Each structure stands twice: as C-alpha cells, then as structure tokens.
Amino acid sequence: MDERERGRIAPWAPPRARRRLAELEAALAGLDADGVVETVGEALSGHLRRLDEEGVVLYAGTNTMSARARAAHEVALASRPSMGWPGEKFQTGLEELDVLEVLAPLQVAALMGGGFAEVRLQSATLANLACYAAFTRPGDTIAVLPEAAGGHASHHAQGAAGIRGLNVVDLPYDAVRLDVDHGALPAFLRGHRPVLVVVGASLMLFPHDVARIRAACDEVGALLVYDASHVAGLIAGGRFQRPLDEGAHVLTMSTYKSFGGPPGAAVVTRDEERARRISEAAYPGLTANYDASRLAPLAVTAAELAAGGPAYADRCIAAAAALAEALAGEGLPVVAADRGWTASHHVAVDAAAFGGPAEAARRLAAGGVFLSGIGLPGQAPGEPMRALRIGTQEVVRRSLGPQDMGEIAVLVRRLLVDGEDPERVLPAARALRRRA
Ligand SMILES: *Cc1c(COP(=O)(O)O)cnc(C)c1O
C-alpha cells in the first residue's frame, strides 16, 4: 500500500478501511476550532439527512425513538455524575435523578417479566460482561451459539467472554430448525460442564425452545442467560417468546434495537441474589459514573411499550412476513422458506449470488437502503458471512406497514437482482422514506 494511505487512526486496519481513513484524515487535517465546529455541524446534519430523512433503514440493530422519548432525552444529564443508591449517593443534589433511577428499572423489569432490572450499563456487550463477572470465574467454560448462528461477539472469546478469561464452546446447533440441537444438547452439556449457557442471537428468525434448553441446563447446574438484544421489543409486547416465563434465569437486552429506546442495555432477572450480583458487577464493577441521560427516555419507551400492548410487535412481525414474501416473489433467496421465513421482525437473505453481504450492502446503501450482513446458519465452517439481515422495526416505527413492503422488495430487487445503477434507484428510496 502507498505510504500516503497509512493514516494515524488505525494503520493496522484492513485496506478498504485504511483508504477511507486516509481520505478523511487528509480532508480534516489542520482545522482550527471554528473549522472543527463547522465540520461537526455538517457531519451531524448530513448524517441525519442520509439515514433519518432520505434512507430506508432496514438495519436490524437500530431504531428511532418515539417523539416523547426523544423529548425526554436531555443530554445535560449525561455529564452529571451519579454513583451509588438513591438516599446514599456519593454526590449530593440528585434528588430528581433518584426518581429516574427508580422509575426506569421498575418499568423495564415489569415489562420484560422480571422482578429486577439493572439499567446503568451503556451497552449489551457490557450487560453480557456483567453476567460473566457475576456468575463465572476466569477459566470457567460457557456454551454459546456459534457465530454463524448469530452468536454475538460478546458471547465469544474475541469479545467480552474472552476478556473475562472464559473458555467458550459452541452449542450444538440445528441449522434446519434454527435452534439449539436439543437431541445433542444434554450429552454436550454433560461433556463440557459449562457454568453458563447463552442463547439469543443477532439473527433471530424463530424463538428458542427455552424450556427445553433450561431442562438440559438444570441437569448440569448451568445458568441460562437469554440475550434478547434484538427481540426485546417483541418480548415487551408479549410476542415471539417470554424467556423469563419459559425458564431463562437472566435476560440481557439492548434498549435501542427493536425496543426502540435510548442507547444502552438492561439485565433483567426474577431472583434477588442474582440481581444483587449483577448490580455489583455493574457498579462498582464496570461503571463508576454512567450516562444518566438514558434513564428518562428509557422509562418513557418502556411505558409506551407497556401501554401499546402487542400492537407494535405485531406490526413488526407482520411487516417482516410481508417483506419476506415480497422479496421471495421478486426472486431473492429468502432464508427459511420452508418454515414461512420468519416469526420475528427479522428476515435473512442468502447473499452469495450477489457477491456476498458486504458487497450487496454497499450496493443497497448507494441506492438508499441501509442494512448489514450476518452469518447464515448452516454455512460452511470458515466461509465468510453469507447472509443479509433485515429488520422491520424502524420502518414500522416510521409508520410503514405490511402494505408498503412490496415497494421495498422492488428496490432490493432492482439493486441486487437487476443490478440497476444505484443512482437511478435512490429517488424511489427517498420518495418511499418521505412518504412514511
Ligand atoms: C447487538 C447485540 C449485542 C451488543 O449490543 P451493544 O449494545 O452493541 O453492545 C449483544 N448481543 C446480541 C445478540 C446483539 O445482537
């Protein structure tokens, strides 16, 4: 590579990233304070325009907050430190924040079917790390979903589980039924004796049989953690599945994906002793001060989800079913056709015929449709990620419904199957977004 393309941000990054970084570093070199302020302003407005105003966002791990939740997101709170319990804090003058620190976890715990919710952690990665800190010791074994089945980096050795020094083994997985291989599970657990089992994934087309997995966990005394990062919004509506009712000991979740709240995470459980250990892992373990500005929009989001009942979850699921059917009708290889494609807000498309998911996602983005790649359950070991993942939660929040999914499928077909020039497709994507 040309020396001029070696930047200072991450000269170790892969070539495509290095080129982009070098281009940006060259353009941004030597700005004075006014220049930085102006550049920041342009970046912010451009970002909002591209994704919020002109793009059709089908990325599964995002959302847009409701108007009331946005109005409750007061950024000034983020720099007001708060450590310890209301009534006994390290800092004084936080009586109003006390209210939010009680309201938000109560709302989240009740909505998710738990008794206790820890809501201070800034991300689901940290929520999972808090579970490892609370319930494992370095050197212990945990069993998680394989990466090709959507097992998240934070479940695996390269992520939070590795940081805790855990030995990570892949659960046996049935790529046809898209769940843990229940026949093989009991012997597998007896062989590996994990202290903790994590299910729940970054692609969740169908529910897990949590009760059956829990029964196998009980035989070896393993704790069952359900990572609901993607499906928390459906669970909140009483749809898809209710992991804590079905036997999961602990539920971790992102608050900003299908849940539709501020960035961050929650850990929910019914057991007081487990809740205490998770809480201590969160503070003083993994946080000191934390971003308290998240609490108000989190409480509002949870309250709105509770008040709305299953309506939002049902719309997300109906839109995904409609989109899967429409995409299949346009000739795209939608995953799990034999099972009706999906029972969640996710849809997966095999992208092998379109140059793989990274290339396909770039084409779609150039045409105003934003999403990402994901592993395809059952893909060959070592094969690069092979599927495109779609989530309907954001377009549903922006008031598109099943009746609009045909139009989205046409955009995808024009970009991927017909290979049309993305510039020519972009106006149609913008028009669809503006109508929503
Ligand atoms: C997105 C995701 C996470 C991580 O969430 P962050 O908030 O980005 O840390 C964890 N688990 C699963 C299954 C996810 O999909």
Does the structure show a pLDDT above 90 at 434?
no
Does the structure show a pLDDT above 60 at 1?
no
CA of 154 to the centre of ligand 1 (A): 7
CA of 417 to the centre of ligand 1 (A): 31
d(CA 419, CA 411): 11
pLDDT tens digits, 328-380: 999 999 999 999 999 999 999 999 999 999 999 999 999 999 999 999 988 98
CA of 128 to the centre of ligand 1 (A): 9
Nearest ligand 1 atom to alpha carbon 264: 7
DSSP H or E segment with residue 102: helix 95-112
CA of 259 to the centre of ligand 1 (A): 12
78: exposed, middle or buried (C-beta count within 10 Å: 0-12, 13-18, 19+)? middle
**pLDDT category, 4, cuts 50, 70, 90?**
low
The encoded tokens of residue 200 equal: 């729940």
Residue 94: predicted pLDDT: 97
Phi/psi at 361 (nearest 5 deg)? -65, -35
68-302, which class in CATH? alpha beta
CA of 257 to the centre of ligand 1 (A): 9
Does the structure show a pLDDT above 90 at 103?
yes
| Protein residues with CB under 6 Å of any ligand 1 atom | 61, 123-125, 152, 154, 200-202, 227, 229-230, 254, 265
Helix (H, G, I), strand (E, B) or coil at 374: strand
**pLDDT category, 2, cuts 50, 70, 90?**
low
CA of 266 to the centre of ligand 1 (A): 11
Distances (CA, A) of 100 to 97, 135, 157, 300, 408: 5, 28, 35, 10, 39
> Average pLDDT in the 286-309 region?
97
Range(s) within the chain of domains with CATH label 3.90.1150.10: 56-65+308-435
Nearest ligand 1 atom to alpha carbon 254: 7
CA of 124 to the centre of ligand 1 (A): 5
Choosing from 171, 199, 229, 345 the residue with most ligand 1 atoms within 8 A of its CB, the one to mutate for a pocket test is 229
56-65+308-435, which class in CATH? alpha beta
Residue 284: asked if its preceding bond is cis (omega within 30°), the reply is yes
Range(s) within the chain of domains with CATH label 3.40.640.10: 68-302
Choosing from 129, 147, 254 the residue with most ligand 1 atoms within 8 A of its CB, the one to mutate for a pocket test is 254
Does the structure show a pLDDT above 70 at 289?
yes
Give the DSSP letter of residue 87. Answer: T
Mean pLDDT over each residue of the chain, to the nearest integer: 96
Which residues, 6 or more positions from 207, have their beta carbon under 8 angstroms from its beta carbon?
A: 240, 241, 343, 344
Which residue's alpha carbon is nearest to atom 2 within ligand 1?
Answer: 229
Closest C-alpha to 134, from 17, 283, 331, 348: 283
Nearest ligand 1 atom to alpha carbon 230: 15
